[in-house]
Structure 1
Amino acid sequence: MSTPAEFSGFVRVRGAREHNLKDLSVQVPRDALVVFTGVSGSGKSSLAFGTLYAEAQRRYLESVSPYARRLFNQVGAPDVDAVEGLPPAVALQQQRGAPTARSSVGSVTTLSNLVRMLYSRAGTYPPGLDGTYPNGPDIIYAEGFSPNTPEGACPECHGQGVVYEVTEASMVPDPSLTIRERAVAAWPQAWGGQNQRDILVTRGVDVDVPWRDLPEPTRDWILFTDEQPVEPVYRGRSFEETRQAVERGDEPNYMGTFSSARRHVMHTFANTESAAMRRRVQAYMIAAECPLCHGKRLRPESLAVTFAGLDVADFSRLPLKEVAALLRPYASGQGSGKHAQDHPAQALARQRLTEDLVARLDVLLDLGLGYLQLERSTPTLSPGELQRLRLATQLYSNLFGVVYVLDEPSAGLHPADTEALLAALASLKAAGNSLFVVEHDLDVIRQADWLVDVGPGAGEQGGEVLYSGPPEGLRNVEGSQTAGYLFRAAPHEKRPPRAPSGWLELSGVTRHNLRDLSVSFPLGVLTCVTGVSGSGKSTLVSQVLAETLAARLGQSGGPSETGPADEGDLEDAQPPGAAASLEGDVGSLSRLVQVDQKPIGRTPRSNMATYTGLFDPVRKLFAATPLARERGYKPGRFSFNVKGGRCPHCQGEGWVMVELLFLPSVYAPCPVCHGSRYNAETLEVRYRGQTIADVLAMTVDDAWDFFRDDAPVFRSLDTLREVGLGYLRLGQPATELSGGEAQRVKLATELQRAGRGHTLYVLDEPTTGLHPADVERLAAQLARLVDAGHTVLTVEHDMQLVVGSDWVIDVGPGAGDEGGRVVAQGTPREVAQAPVSQTAPYLAQALGGAGS
């Protein structure tokens, strides 16, 4: 650990006011590992990313042409008086995967580009493809080995690897129903279904007889025709009345266009931007392996080219450690004997490309990612895996004199994986770089050369520097919540583990690295599923168990009942295969809820008040005031999402965007409503002296006092305070919330609901982004759910939460092919003694108390 005299210089910040920072001034050393700590929402990221990185980016962009600036995702100039001594900066922020499954390990690390070039320039071409080097007339260029390009994608499946079709059975699940009773379940709801039915009546189809009794040619036309006839529609008339109207030539209600069920399903699946809609229509489709490329996604000509006997698809399916072993002889020149007749340029290309590939792969192997494959899609990766992939790219770049600003690099990492992360950070620092890390993990904090503790609380109670200096100096800082966990053993609950009320028996699990796995999950308790990153925890719990249980419970909309569907979910849909079997006390469960860290809204119009539902009773209170009743204002008048009460200039946004051409666009308060979102007439209505805009500007803590006598609102606010969100404003846009904050909003929404039977709550790494103090608060809320008669199942790395659980299932022992098995299960103390578990030593340490 360094001392202040050993540092080469300092970065000095004066007057930082970004977000909740209170005119903050601080200095941090360069060429050191600087860790920013503090409770969630204290202002750490506002200082590290919103101020330091934003200022570094602003200075860099000043040196490039105005045109080039338009190509950057500019974060905007920070609100700060001065920043001195700041080198160029690179940011590595937390991102949960790419939008679609077309992004992969290979594309994130740029390895795929090198592999495609390797096959293009040094591959073995079969007879019939002119492989004459260089640049024979039919040589396949690198784009031809990518399933995401027109040159490389299989023409049959368009680079998907699977083809989708529909059948009568998939679209008509119950042929005893009539068309009016929605026998054709694949048709859209509401207007679409009625439109189709009325058109069929016009054409002479009886929509009131069982589907199976319709003539087969009629059924085939309804389901599969490619025609789109336009027919008159006589709404509300019976079959006979419609036929008579057609014969008389009565004026129809409108002319409707008929679309067959197959056409509707296939068109919707290919073109809709709604993940929920795609999920619905996919239920009526049958997926099969593409008969042309056999799931390899590439055109036959590309698959005919090989390297070391493998086509590019098979090559991309190898674990990275096997790829490195395969390429190492070629990189050293020992593999060239197999290609003695090569053109010299081809031999040189092969050696140069394999040298580069091996060098990049070695970095990934050092970070413990050798079990991944190049084709593995990024939505299937954990945040920790994705963060390490990006970190590997920076390690290979060999930059010097740069500030790396990292956002919780240990997020999603098992304690054993954190050791590899620390070694990587040490390599970056040894190369002459500075590391500014926002972090909650105590193991990473203990390795810091310098700590900046921000707080003391969150939101308006934070934004101040409590301490800046070597870690040991934080020990006696009053008001620091970090010091209590860093230097003093955190007391653990001595409560004996709860006894299960039943069991779920999951068997026949085969997906990713899980091979015919069987496991039992206890009910009525808090269970933590542990294991190193990539061992198969999330696949087992968040995918297989959740999907299988959702199907058994009839939750056709998908397993998650909280939060919006993610656009990437469907892109990574699994190919058809044997389904897992779920037995045991399934009947005791009434529903499944997945509480994840996905955003609670995609636009600033969504906020905590609207998501939790507390805004509904608030609007009713305003509508019940004398002035509102006198004017005839209904609750909808006080919504900023509909016409009537909202500001007509900003459409209820409260802000307007100002385009600055070559500079980042800036947002300014609406000049009409001044950021209130409402028009002047609506703001004349007051409840206990406050306007509806004043209420949205309140923090949860302030609103808790204000609405103390209004039970429906107070109950929601009380729950939000209990999960540690008292510092958030009611109207704070959902886009400003961190993943941890979004997850706690969802949890609070569940906690305030009335009991609805026995619910199974599934949480995937719920402690990500949480300070140890917030983890303690989260654990209390999870215990509250269990005490209310529910089951909580979490995938977790944080030993602080694991030691307080009732049951632990450890998956491993390693990652990838070395994992996928249950290596230990039992109470925390029992698993802590398991000999083959990588979790056991860290769990034993946590049970004995941490600190120094």
Structure 2
Amino acid sequence: KETESEYVRREIEKYMVSEICPVCAGARLKKEALSVTINRLNISQMTEFSIKDALEWIKNLKKPVFSDREATIASSIVKEIIARLQFLVDVGLDYLTLNRASMTLAGGEAQRIRLASQIGSGLSGVLYVLDEPSIGLHQRDNHRLIETLKRLRDLGNTVVVVEHDAETMENADFIIDFGPGAGEHGGKVMAQGSPAQIKKNPESLTGKYLSGKKTVNASQKFIKAPNNLGVLKVLGAAEHNLKNIDVEFPLGQFIAVTGVSGSGKSTLINDILYKALSSKFFHSRERAGKHQGLEGVEKIDKVVLVDQSPIGRTPRSNPATYTGAFTFIRELFANSPESKIKGYGPGRFSFNVKGGRCEVCEGEGQIKIEMQFLPDVYVTCEACGGKRYNREALDIHFKDKNIAEILDMTVEEALKFFENIPQIKNKLVILNEVGLGYIRLGQPAPTVSGGEAQRIKLATELSKRPTGHTLYILDEPTTGLHFADIEKLLTILRRLVNYGNTVIIIEHNLDVIKNTDWIIDLGPEGGDGGGKIVAEGTPKQLAGNKNSITGHYLSKVLVQ
């Protein structure tokens, strides 16, 4: 019997391993289909090419590969294929293979593929809206993307881009800057005009960073000399495009792994290092990428991947539950005189179990209405008015506030409210320090952005008792972050390093890279042209290395 529950499927899949089909060897087609070849390659072999190599291969399909008759028939098809592949090259995706599974694409890559298809359509009079298209792009490829956006504009279209990248802003015709803060402290237009006008506007925080009046640096009080705690080595890394490399990570330091898009950074860190350590520490069933071994594992006690995935899939998860602050809040209510008289325990103040929750919406605060052929619609529960609790639970107060009113507080408000209760205050102080003072304690997890989710996870890690031997891995943590937010993030990461932990980040943002202790630069190109260590050292050493493309761009930032 096959289950229809998505949850059950996910749980069962944890105990399953994907293996290559022994009949077709991963080609996915029958022998008959694979017997058709062009220039001695079948369709499966051809789709293993990177976009760059495929473009070269298609351009060389002339005599004697095709007869005159075949060349005439193929000419219009070849022309169309070349045009489409060229668009993908123009948006910086030349390193992707044609058979790459869409679910393995980063958000920025998927968005740029859609962008390439729009350029190919040649439409005009269209309004295009792009949300951070520069995600995952190296500085070298960034100008290609900007030129592509300009080409869309020149066709007679309007291009609106939500972006934090300085180079994209500099090339814009018009900027609208929102602020002054985040959440309920924002929502106002602080400045609008050309990049030059924004730089001169004293109201614009973005303008101050663009003009160089402010620069991104970690708080000086947290910057210390790097710890020397030995090294962690990955030996013989050879997954995907990695060329059997040995990589050393100095422990107790803030390390950046850099390189052009597709050079093998995520393969090395996520597919090999993280999965290999997870199987050692947590007996994870995920198979690590191809490598010969690890050395120095005994010098760390655990590995933590802090990504931008949601802190929960349902509205039941929120910042208060994720950080553990809600446990103490519920205990506080259960210990009030009113609760003791009525015999209420902490469970009475949970919206996940029967007792105190509203039974009409089962503690969701919303009721889901299924719309047959349309997406589901959520409406506020009429019984509790979205408060999630029944009247009995809402009648219990702490300092004149009930549990629903506390969940509706921002972190800043709750910090003042609970200033005399250390267990709760300690959790909230760190949330406030990482720049999340504006989010509400009961804000449903699906409405929390990727950057916010990542900072909530980091705050939760900082609030734990430090062991000083943890390896933290972050993949492009600056996605969705403004210059001012990047400073806050850098300060948190520095604090983790100062406890003796090791932080490894995969990053393209030069403001972050210049603030690290050690850089490992992969390349020199993406796809098959990458997978080697081009350079490693401190930011200054890398900036002086002529072989490193990242070093070339980093030298410009270090001069500022």
Note whether the superposition's TM-score is higher than 0.5: yes
The C-alpha deviation readout for 1:206-258, integer Å capped at 9, x for no partner, is: xxxxxxxxxxxxxxxxxxxxxxxxxxxxxxxxxxxxxxxxxxxxxxxxxxxxx
Compute the displacement of 1:826 (Å): 0.6
2:386 to 662, 675, 679: 675
The C-alpha deviation readout for 1:67-91, integer Å capped at 9, x for no partner, is: xxxxxxxxxxxxxxxxxxxxxxxxx
Larger Rg, first or second structure (1 or 2):
1
Change over 3 Å in CA distance of 1:273–1:340 after alignment to 2: farther
The C-alpha deviation readout for 1:331-379, integer Å capped at 9, x for no partner, is: xxx458734676xxxx765333222111101111222322221111234
Change over 3 Å in CA distance of 1:580–1:379 after alignment to 2: farther
Q: How far apart, in 2, do the equivalents of 1:443 and 1:489 lie?
A: 16
Compute the displacement of 1:662 (Å): 8.1
SS across alignment from 1:520: strand
Q: Which residue of 1 aligns with 2:233?
A: 505
Q: Which residue of 2 aligns with 1:540?
A: 268
Residue pair 1:497, 1:827 contacting (<8 A) in 2 also: no
Q: How does 1:227-626 map to 2 (within 5 A)?
A: 273-282=8-17, 289-330=20-61, 334-335=62-63, 338-339=66-67, 350-491=74-215, 492=217, 498-552=226-280, 554-557=281-284, 578-583=290-295, 585-626=296-337
Residue pair 1:544, 1:580 contacting (<8 A) in 2 also: no
Compute the displacement of 1:798 (Å): 0.8
Change over 3 Å in CA distance of 1:825–1:662 after alignment to 2: closer
Letter in 2 for 1:432: G
Residue pair 1:382, 1:533 contacting (<8 A) in 2 also: no
Compute the displacement of 1:612 (Å): 1.1
Q: Which residue of 2 aligns with 1:234?
A: none
5+ long unaligned stretches in structure 2: none
Compute the displacement of 1:274 (Å): 4.4
Q: How far apart, in 2, do the equivalents of 1:320 and 1:271 lie?
A: 35
Change over 3 Å in CA distance of 1:772–1:276 after alignment to 2: farther
TM-score (norm 1): 0.62
After TM superposition, the structure 1 stretch with the greater mean CA deviation from structure 2, 751-760 or 300-309, is: 300-309
Residue pair 1:646, 1:677 contacting (<8 A) in 2 also: yes
Q: How far apart, in 1, do the equivalents of 2:30 and 2:8 lie?
A: 27
SS across alignment from 2:407: helix
Pairing 1:809–2:537 present: no
Compute the displacement of 1:280 (Å): 3.4
Q: How far apart, in 1, do the equivalents of 2:305 and 2:498 lie?
A: 19
Change over 3 Å in CA distance of 1:519–1:650 after alignment to 2: same
The C-alpha deviation readout for 1:288-347, integer Å capped at 9, x for no partner, is: 6433212222222222222332111111101222222222355xxx458734676xxxx7
The C-alpha deviation readout for 1:483-532, integer Å capped at 9, x for no partner, is: 22111244546867514321012111011110201111010010011111
The C-alpha deviation readout for 1:786-816, integer Å capped at 9, x for no partner, is: 1111111111111111111110111111111
Pairing 1:646–2:357 present: yes
Letter in 2 for 1:456: P
SS across alignment from 1:475: helix
Q: Which residue of 2 aligns with 1:40?
A: none
Letter in 2 for 1:726: G
Q: How far apart, in 1, do the equivalents of 2:529 and 2:191 lie?
A: 43
Q: How far apart, in 2, do the equivalents of 1:341 and 1:435 lie?
A: 43
Change over 3 Å in CA distance of 1:588–1:659 after alignment to 2: closer
Q: Which residue of 1 aligns with 2:490?
A: 779
Among all aligned residue pairs of Structure 1 and Structure 2, give the percentage whose two residues are the same amino acid: 45
Compute the displacement of 1:406 (Å): 0.6
Residue pair 1:707, 1:714 contacting (<8 A) in 2 also: yes
RMSD over aligned CA atoms reads 2.4
2:503 to 792, 798, 803: 792
SS across alignment from 1:511: coil
Q: How far apart, in 2, do the equivalents of 1:480 and 1:489 lie?
A: 11
Compute the displacement of 1:756 (Å): 2.9
Residue pair 2:39, 2:65 contacting (<8 A) in 1 also: no
SS across alignment from 1:338: coil
Change over 3 Å in CA distance of 1:742–1:274 after alignment to 2: farther
The C-alpha deviation readout for 1:745-795, integer Å capped at 9, x for no partner, is: 111110100123410001111111100100000000000001111111111
Letter in 2 for 1:292: V
Change over 3 Å in CA distance of 1:280–1:645 after alignment to 2: same
Q: How does 1:217-236 map to 2 (within 5 A)?
A: none
Letter in 2 for 1:293: C
5+ long unaligned stretches in structure 1: 1-263, 559-569
Q: Which residue of 1 aligns with 2:414?
A: 703
Letter in 2 for 1:555: F
Q: How far apart, in 2, do the equivalents of 1:814 and 1:416 lie?
A: 11
Residue pair 1:385, 1:533 contacting (<8 A) in 2 also: no
Letter in 1 for 2:494: A
Compute the displacement of 1:428 (Å): 0.5
Change over 3 Å in CA distance of 1:477–1:489 after alignment to 2: closer
Letter in 2 for 1:366: D
Letter in 2 for 1:841: H
Q: How far apart, in 2, do the equivalents of 1:361 and 1:599 lie?
A: 34
The C-alpha deviation readout for 1:607-658, integer Å capped at 9, x for no partner, is: 1111111111000001111111111111111111111111111111112245
SS across alignment from 2:268: helix
